[in-house]
Amino acid sequence: MPKLFEANTYKIYIKVFEELKLILSQKDKKKLFVGVGNVLKSDDGTGVYISRKIRERGSISSLTVETSIENYIGKINSLSPDILILIDCVDMKLPPGSFKLLTLTQIQDLTFNTHNISLRRLTEFFMMQVFILGIQPERIEFGENISYLVGTVANKIIKQINKQEVYHGCTISL
C-alpha cells in the first residue's frame, strides 16, 4: 500500500511541476507569485517562505502579502501581471506536503487558513488569469517553523521557479 501511495503522489507532483513549468515557459507573459499565509502558524507560512525565496527576473516577480492579501488588491492590479499565482497553505484533505496548482473552478470547496476573505471571492477583484498553488499543511499551530515535510516540498517548488534557463546552448543562472 505505501508504495502505491508514493507512486500516485509522485505522479501528482510530476503533473503539478509540468503545469508550473508550462506557466513559467510563457516568456511573453508577466507572472506574479504572491505569498499568502501566517508565518506565526507553522506550515501556514509556507506561501510567504516561497515568495521570499523567488528570484525576480524578466517576466517573473513576487510579492509577499502574508495574511492581508485583501490590502494588496490595488497593488497587484497596478503591477498588471498576465498571470497571478497565489501561493498558500490549503486544506485539500490530502497527505501533508501534497500540492496542487488550482484554477478558480477547483477551489470552491477547499478551506483556506487565516484569511478575512476567501481566495475564491478575492480573485473576483483581479482582471488577470489566476491560479492558486495550494500546499497541504502538516500542522497549523503557533510556531515559526515549517514542518520538515512541507519545507522540503516548498524548497522543490522554489527550485522549479528559480530554475536555470538555457539560451542558445548556454546555461545561465538567473
| Predicted pLDDT of residue 173 | 46
Q: Contact, 49 vs 35, CB < 8 A? A: yes
Alpha helix segments (H runs only) across the chain: 2-24, 46-53, 73-79, 119-122, 148-161
Mean pLDDT of residues grouped by 10 in the chain (174 residues)? 45 72 90 94 94 94 91 93 93 88 69 57 82 92 92 94 60 46
pLDDT of residue 9: 52
pLDDT at 150: 94
Please tell me the predicted confidence (pLDDT) of residue 119: 63
- Residue 10 has a pLDDT of 52
DSSP string, 28-78: TS-EEEEEES-TTBGGGGHHHHHHHH---BTTEEEEEEET-GGGGHHHHHH
The pLDDT value given to residue 164: 52
User: Which pLDDT belongs to residue 103?
Assistant: 83
CATH code for the part of the protein at 2-172? 3.40.50.1450
